[in-house]
């Protein structure tokens, strides 16, 4: 089973190395993207702690899109489809990788996304996702730049597209349900305000953290999120997620987005997001 690993140790590990790590914040930060998950990042460790839940192809940290209020009935998904784990040989994916490359701390790939639920018997869509992920962005070892582009096929007509630019399903062992909190952050002051468990969506960036601040993740985009915002969910079985969404009328062609994810302690996440807001051009 092939896998490709984003990797760099102090930016000196060659791209051809198949298993290495990227050191950040005094610990080890490694991310792995698998071909059986369409190239989606389904393992992301901070200081040796797995932050991501990857039980099925709908989780991981990935991108997806749905159209016309149909939800999962017309839902191209980066990692694969609902039945892939049990119906695709060797637990593979209905998403089709079209190419990938990696370098020190950087992964780029292109994938034809699976439908989460098959559409008229078709398990793979004609929607293309391109992404480039840069770990240690801007000299901050806890910061990740995530650039994604969605291409909507020219022969499809939709009234609205809901672009889930990026979502992360968080590992319940790193983020035990009873000891975790959602917050919004004022990117100008760094001040946190508590959020309910949701589901919900707001215009301010979201942070998810353990009560002791040991593990945390925060997400922010320098772009205006048309018709969308930052969402959060807490499920009943110890699983939580965050996402970033944009809703676009009459979508055609290619739509590109830039996202920053900061992971580490709560203090590192707050500091990292505030620094990015103060240094990156934004609309």
pLDDT digits 0-9 by tens, 146-198: 999 999 999 999 999 999 999 999 999 999 988 899 999 998 888 999 999 98
> What average pLDDT does the chain have?
87
CA dist 124 and 148 (Å) reads 19
pLDDT, tens digit, for every residue of 263-281? 999 999 999 999 999 999 9
Taking alpha carbons only, the member of 161, 133, 146 closest to residue 76 is 161
Instruction: Provide the pLDDT for residue 91.
Output: 65
Largest CA distance in the chain: 51
Instruction: Provide the pLDDT for residue 27.
Output: 45
In terms of residue numbers, what domain contains 213? Answer: 3-279
Tell the residue number behind the tokens 């997400």, with chain if given.
219
- Domain holding 262: CATH number? 2.70.98
Looking at the predicted structure, is the pLDDT value of residue 9 above 80?
no
Instruction: Provide the pLDDT for residue 283.
Output: 84
Instruction: Provide the pLDDT for residue 102.
Output: 78
* Structure tokens that stand for 24 in this block: 């950040």
Looking at the predicted structure, is the pLDDT value of residue 200 above 60?
yes
Indicate the pTM of the whole model: 0.89
Looking at the predicted structure, is the pLDDT value of residue 6 above 70?
no
Cβ neighbours of residue 55 closer than 8 Å, sequence gap 6 or more: none
CA dist 175 and 70 (Å) reads 31
Of the given ranges (25-39, 105-119, 201-215), which has the lowest mean pLDDT? 25-39
pLDDT average, residue stretch 57-80: 97
Q: Report the number of distinct structural domains present in the chain.
A: 1
pLDDT average, residue stretch 77-102: 84
pLDDT average, residue stretch 61-72: 98
């Amino acid at each position: 089973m092939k896998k490709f690993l984003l990797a760099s140790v102090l930016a000196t590990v060659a791209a051809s190395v198949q298993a290495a790590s990227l050191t950040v914040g005094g610990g080890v930060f490694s991310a792995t993207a698998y071909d059986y998950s369409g190239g989606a990042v389904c393992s992301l460790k901070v200081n040796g702690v797995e932050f991501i839940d990857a039980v099925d192809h709908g989780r991981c940290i990935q991108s997806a899109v749905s159209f016309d209020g149909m939800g999962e009935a017309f839902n191209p998904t980066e990692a694969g489809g609902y039945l892939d784990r049990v119906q695709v040989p060797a637990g593979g994916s209905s998403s089709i990788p079209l190419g990938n490359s990696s370098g020190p701390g950087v992964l780029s790939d292109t994938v034809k996304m699976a439908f989460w639920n098959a559409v008229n018997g078709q398990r793979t869509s004609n929607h293309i996702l391109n992404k480039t992920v840069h770990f240690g962005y801007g000299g901050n070892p806890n910061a990740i730049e995530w650039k994604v582009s969605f291409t909507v096929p020219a022969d499809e007509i939709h009234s609205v597209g809901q672009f889930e630019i990026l979502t992360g399903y968080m590992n319940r062992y790193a983020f035990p349900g009873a000891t975790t909190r959602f917050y919004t952050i004022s990117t100008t002051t760094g001040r946190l305000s508590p959020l309910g468990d949701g589901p919900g969506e707001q215009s301010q960036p979201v942070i998810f953290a353990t009560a002791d601040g040991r593990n945390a993740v925060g997400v922010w985009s320098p772009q205006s999120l048309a018709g969308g915002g930052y969402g959060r969910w807490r499920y009943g079985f110890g699983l939580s997620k965050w996402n970033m969404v944009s809703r676009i009328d009459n979508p055609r062609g290619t739509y590109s987005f830039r996202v920053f994810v900061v992971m580490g302690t709560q203090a590192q996440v707050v500091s990292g997001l505030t620094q990015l807001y103060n240094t990156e051009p934004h609309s």
